[in-house]
């Protein structure tokens, strides 16, 4: 009897530890091979109203950093709303769409994976990248008003 229980525990342990289905691992599999990222920045009302507020990123180094945007750390409840969305593509096919808030006090990203919604903190490096793009869009929009 003890031997059977020992064997069962060993088998279950092997199964449990060999199946690492953390959210980060599932996410990494979902967005593997991303060759383009589209960033959609919202206006102050939370809407995408201007096609100039869409940035297509095809630079491999920036894509690599944006692929690491979603940390493993769960975000607190977002009471700030979202100031943009990010869509990952591979060969023209959308792999994942997410919404983010890149403000330091509200830095988070939400996405759906395997029919579940997740809210994670944005990585510090991706927050910097997103805010630089946002500032670039803001200055272009202000210049076009003059």
pLDDT in tens, 22-69: 788 888 899 999 999 999 999 876 777 677 789 999 999 999 999 988
Q: What is the mean pLDDT of residues 126-133?
A: 93
Q: Which residue has the higher pLDDT, 107 or 22?
A: 107
- Domain residue ranges in the chain: 38-145
pLDDT computed for residue 9 by the predictor: 54
pLDDT computed for residue 64 by the predictor: 92
| pTM confidence score | 0.78
Q: At what angle do helices 124-145 and 60-67 cross, to 10 degrees?
A: 120
Contacts of 119 by beta carbon, 8 Å cutoff, 6+ apart: 74, 75, 77, 78, 108, 109, 110
pLDDT computed for residue 51 by the predictor: 78
**Can you read off the two tokens belonging to residue 14?**
């092997």
């Amino acid at each position: 009897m003890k031997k059977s229980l020992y064997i069962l525990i060993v088998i279950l342990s092997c199964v449990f530890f060999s199946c690492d289905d953390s959210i980060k691992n599932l996410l990494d599999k979902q967005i593997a091979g991303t060759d383009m990222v589209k960033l959609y920045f919202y206006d102050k009302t939370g809407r995408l109203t201007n096609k100039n507020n869409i940035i297509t990123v095809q630079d491999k180094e920036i894509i690599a950093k944006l692929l690491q945007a979603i940390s493993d750390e769960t975000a607190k409840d977002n009471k700030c709303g979202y100031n943009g969305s990010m869509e990952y593509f591979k060969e023209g096919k959308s792999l994942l769409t997410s919404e983010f808030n890149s403000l330091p006090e509200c830095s988070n990203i939400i996405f759906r994976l395997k029919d579940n919604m997740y809210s994670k903190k944005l990585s510090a490096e991706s927050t910097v990248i997103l805010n630089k793009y946002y500032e670039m869009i803001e200055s272009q929009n202000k210049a076009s008003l003059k």
